Amino acid sequence: ELTSQKAFITQLNSVAVSAERIQGGRLLSNNGATDFNLDNGSVNFYSNQGSIRRIDDTTSSQFIRLEQGYFRAERFEDRKAARIVIGTNHDKKESVENETFAGTRLWSGNGNGEKESFHETVADRIIFYSNGKYRSPWMIHNNTRDGYTFFMPLNENRVKHVIGRSDKRLHDIHTNEITLNGVRLKMMIKDIMNRIGYRGVGNWADLIN
């Protein structure tokens, strides 16, 4: 047992260290996988599975992972792409693919002379909004359990939701159905065509159903 007010030791081997305060420049792992630089406030991971977790008695896991992963891009496949995961799992398995995962996956990869980044947001419901008097979220509603997914305005604070603008227009809209005040637009057009007796070039009006 050593009791000292002050000591300078160039190298210390110890099983456990107990202190009121530890002050220093860097904390290094034994295998070099983690480098915590206290002076510049950075944590560096030199492995393929760097992680930050919160572990307690909550029902879900909470984690940040910086790792390699398989990335299927638009024009290539990268089996060692960089992937950042910020997420939670209801079953605490930390799986980023199973149905209990919610969070964000950010990819960056390359191959075949191409580079691509990809950002995924995964959740049962996702909303976009700004705070303040005009707060009125757009919502992507996924967990309806009826085979439908909705992208819809929540119509709060008397805000009118608009897609596009007079000077920032959408180029094309590809859709099967448009409903106006509860009436299908296709049936409106077909009713008009029948009343004026016009079948369209190539009889396209006959194909409306």
Q: Is residue 62 part of a domain?
A: yes
Q: Are strands 125-128 and 114-122 parallel, antiparallel or unpaired?
A: unpaired
Q: Which residue has the tokens 């007079």?
A: 166
CA distance 118 to 97: 16
pLDDT at 67: 92
Residues 164, 183 share a domain: no
Whether pLDDT at 157 is above 80: yes
Compute the average pLDDT of residues 94-100: 88
pLDDT at 196: 84
Q: Is residue 95 part of a domain?
A: yes
More confident residue, 208 or 169: 169
Q: Which domain holds residue 144?
A: 124-173
pLDDT at 122: 95
Q: What's the total number of domains in the chain?
A: 3
Residues 145, 183 share a domain: no
Residue type, 140: I
pTM for the model: 0.76
Residues 105, 66 share a domain: yes
pLDDT tens-digit map of 14-46: 888 888 888 888 989 989 999 999 999 999 999
Q: Is residue 108 part of a domain?
A: yes
Q: Is residue 10 part of a domain?
A: no
Compute the average pLDDT of residues 134-153: 93
Give the DSSP letter of residue 144: T
Q: Is residue 202 part of a domain?
A: yes
Residues 70, 130 share a domain: no
pLDDT tens-digit map of 100-120: 999 999 999 999 999 999 999
Q: Is residue 141 part of a domain?
A: yes
pLDDT at 59: 81
Residues 88, 59 share a domain: yes
Residues 134, 169 share a domain: yes
Q: Which two tokens stand for residue 54?
A: 């919160």
Question: Nearest CA to 186 among 161, 159, 157, 207?
Answer: 207
pLDDT tens-digit map of 129-143: 999 899 999 999 998
- In the chain, DSSP assigns E strands to 26-28, 34-37, 42-45, 49-54, 61-72, 77-89, 101-111, 114-122, 125-128, 138-141, 150-153, 179-180, 183-184
